Amino acid sequence: MRFPIHNETPITHSAELPDAADLVVIGGGIAGVSTAIFAAEQGLKVVLLEKGRIAGEQSSRNWGWIRAQGRDAAEIPVMLEAAAHWRRWDTALGGATGLQQTGVCYLAEDDATLDKYAEWLPHAQAHGMGTRILTAKETADLLPGNSRAYRGALWTAEDMRAEPWQAVPALARMVAEKGALIREGCAVRGLDIAAGRVSGVITEGGTIRAEAVILAGGAWSSLLLRRHGVSIPQLSVRCTVAATGPMPEIFAGGAVDSKLAFRRRMDGGYSLAPAGYHELYIGPDAFRAFRGYLPQLWADPMGTVYRPLAPRGFPDGWSTPRRWALDGESPFERMRILDPAPNEAKVAEIKWRFEAAYPELGPIPIMSSWAGMIDTMPDVVPVVDAVSDLPGLTVVTGMSGHGFGIGPAFGRIAVAMATGGEPGHDMSRFRYGRFHDGSRLVPGPNL
């Protein structure tokens, strides 16, 4: 059993490349697929290009949480919109996304953590969310059988879960039926630029003319942008996940404490992950962006483990070219799917922690494990904006581990930005220019 989509997964979408389109979307993750859905619904001729497989990278490797809880204040209204899209799409697909409203619970082991959750609560209340602080007894009642004694919890019953590896491909099939052209295994080598603005994309299969391009390339976005002189301080961190076999239900939703996160899956198993832990491979971009990440590192100095060398071919690998000819092989063709190995020591640790939390379950069978590279920004909020330096280009990237749930709404917003429409939300927090206009970067809550 191997859940994430990978290099051996058969190609599903192989549409012929047109000479021209109204809109080209680069990247077949949740943000890119959602973008294509809204473009197709507006009657635009849209082409979605994915160098590997739909949802082959972080969009099939994440925890599967669809949550408003714990988000940056600017993200909450966007996330509430996204939740409505998830419900609509799951209904249209007959439940194929695995969407279920089972709630999200942040567990507090001490009063300081509980106080931090309480400080966030007014953001939820301002948007009419039902989020509340649970007492120690209410927390124990919510998680019967858990051996830990928690001081309380932050609980949002309205939050949901879905199955990433089946949800995003199902949405891609839906948008293909709406008329969008999708091509897997087709890398965009670069942007076609004329008279200082984007005029299309140059792919390994030829050039497509388009006055509007949306880049939703996840961990690869900054590499493509840098090829065209556009700089954003995006880095990627490795996170490990493990999947248990089917077992009795101990909690239907998603829960996390300082060391362990777990989520019930449709197949009766649980997805487990280490909480508050990620690994940063050091490469040229990490050195270049270090100063911008200091506030985040200061706030959570123990949350990041540093690995000395980014593996060969990774977006921030030392040997990965930052410049390449557009008529030759690009880094995106050399690595179709970013498929890092899981941290096996962490797999063993989260298995042990889950067994310790629920001793009545006995030995926990780990059926599969994997890792993904999460694209992140210094302030832990995405970039969703038109790029002023390259008219015609809109960027949706740096989801910072929040992308699976919120991606549908950012997809709609990106289409609005690319076509001169109204985004419908205050997008100033997500602007591209915040890294270059002297603004002080304020890290989000990252709860």
pLDDT band at 53 (very low <50, low <70, confident <90, very high): very high
pLDDT in tens, 241-277: 999 999 999 999 999 999 999 999 999 999 999 998 9
Helices and strands in the chain, H and E counts? 10, 22
Could you say which architecture CATH assigns to the domain 23-103+158-435? Answer: 3-Layer(bba) Sandwich (3.50)
In angstroms, the CA 106 to CA 65 distance is 12
- The mean per-residue pLDDT over the stretch 185-201 comes to 97
pLDDT band at 289 (very low <50, low <70, confident <90, very high): confident
Strand order in the sheet with 46-50: 181-184, 46-50, 23-26, 213-215, 393-397, 383-386
14: β partners: 183
pLDDT band at 301 (very low <50, low <70, confident <90, very high): low
Instruction: Using alpha carbons only, give the angle 162, 165, 170 rounded to the nearest 5 degrees.
Output: 80
- The mean per-residue pLDDT over the stretch 204-215 comes to 98
Output the pLDDT for position 1.
Answer: 46
- Spatial CA neighbour of 239 closest among 148, 155, 338: 338
302, pLDDT greater than 90: no
Output the pLDDT for position 148.
Answer: 94
For residue 339, what is the DSSP state?
-
Domain boundaries of the chain, sorted by first residue:
23-103+158-435, 104-157
| CB distance 216 to 50 below 8 Å | no
Output the pLDDT for position 249.
Answer: 96
294, pLDDT greater than 90: no
pLDDT in tens, 227-251: 999 999 999 999 999 999 999 999 9
Output the pLDDT for position 291.
Answer: 76
35: β partners: none
69: its two tokens? 């809880």
DSSP secondary structure string for all residues of 380-440: SS-EEEE-TTSTTEEEEE--TT-HHHHHHHHHHHHHHHHTT---SS--GGG-GGGGTS-PP
pLDDT band at 93 (very low <50, low <70, confident <90, very high): very high
Q: How many CB atoms neighbour CB 385 within 10 A? A: 22
